[in-house]
Amino acid sequence: MTCLDKTTQSSSLHITLKKNSDAVETAMKYLLSKIQGGKLREATFYSCLENTGKKLRPSLCIEFTKLLNGSVDIVLPVAASIEICHTYSLIHDDLPALDNDDIRRGKPSCHKKFNEATAILAGDTLLTYAFEILSGLENITPEKKCTLIFALSKAIGPDGMLAGQIADIEYTDSENDFNEMLNIHKLKTAKLIEFSCLAPALVFDTNTNIKEAIQNFALNFGILFQIADDILDYDQKSDEGCNVVKALGLVKSKEMLRDLAEKAILSLDIFGNRASILKSLVFHTVDRIK
């Protein structure tokens, strides 16, 4: 790939991500404005709309919808509910009982901006509201709504993100067990990413081969995304906790990142050249690490 190709691909990726992010933000604004109760509304608005993130997960949901020739309008509330769940997890993760982070995305975390009780309840509000959104989806059959609700519960509940989070908390430095680390990354980070990629296939009729390819992509990309975060984190902090760099070293961790990227890209082959945005996203995630 020439330098010019890479620049063109990177700029269309950024344009697409910005467009997706704007669409999700508009949907979230509409949905969250239905929340009554002054402080809950204020705190959920702050964390979802004022102190916003990259919206990577809803973007994956939208891009896979396009690849399946599905309607983005139908999937937009699903994408919004994914970002709403992700925001809940960040609010709770920042609490003093968990990571105790005062800063999120460069601004005060929810419990610092408001207080602990408000942050706990704002997180709870977002978590429950995400399921309310899915149960009220229009233009989707009741069976498909149930399938989505079940799949999201599996992704973020005690078989998914929560299992990863508790294992992360219980992980001790002395373990330095690479397989256990990978399992934690898979549960804590990759499961919600997997739901984000697979949700369109649950909404629009999709054959097994394509579903398997999407799942394959999601697993490799989800772990890659967390290892990239580990590498960035490792540069800044001491080598404590569940961080792959601690088990493998920097060189091998980067090798693993490239290997996962190759696998993720290979699993997109089934979509031919229509998957160029997702491929650029994989390159972009790896390129963040120098």
Q: Which is nearer to ligand GRG, 15 or 169 (CB)?
A: 169
Q: Is 241 in the site for ligand GRG (CB under 6 A)?
A: no
Residue 246 φ/ψ, nearest 5 degrees? -65, -40
Q: Is 124 in the site for ligand GRG (CB under 6 A)?
A: no
Selected from 90, 181, 224, 268, the binder of ligand GRG by CB under 6 A is 90
Quote the CA–CA distance of 53 and 28 in Å, as a whole number.
Answer: 13
We find the least distance from the C-beta atom of residue 221 to ligand GRG, in angstroms, to be 12
Q: Is 47 in the site for ligand GRG (CB under 6 A)?
A: no
In this chain, which stretch among 14-22, 83-91, 239-247, 251-259 interacts with ligand GRG, using CB under 6 A? Answer: 83-91
Q: Which is nearer to ligand GRG, 137 or 286 (CB)?
A: 286
Which residues ranging from 183 to 222 are in contact with ligand GRG (CB under 6 A)? 188-189
Q: Is 161 in the site for ligand GRG (CB under 6 A)?
A: yes
Are 199 and 144 in contact, with CB atoms under 8 Å apart?
Answer: no
Residue 107 φ/ψ, nearest 5 degrees? -125, 170
Task: Supply the DSSP string of 238-289, one letter for each residue.
Answer: -S-SS-HHHHH-HHHHHHHHHHHHHHHHHTTGGGGGGGHHHHHHHHHHHHT-
Q: Are strands 103-104 and 107-108 parallel, antiparallel or unpaired?
A: antiparallel
Instruction: By CB under 6 A, name the binding residues for ligand GRG.
Output: 53-54, 56, 86, 89-90, 92-93, 98, 105, 161, 165, 188-189, 226, 229
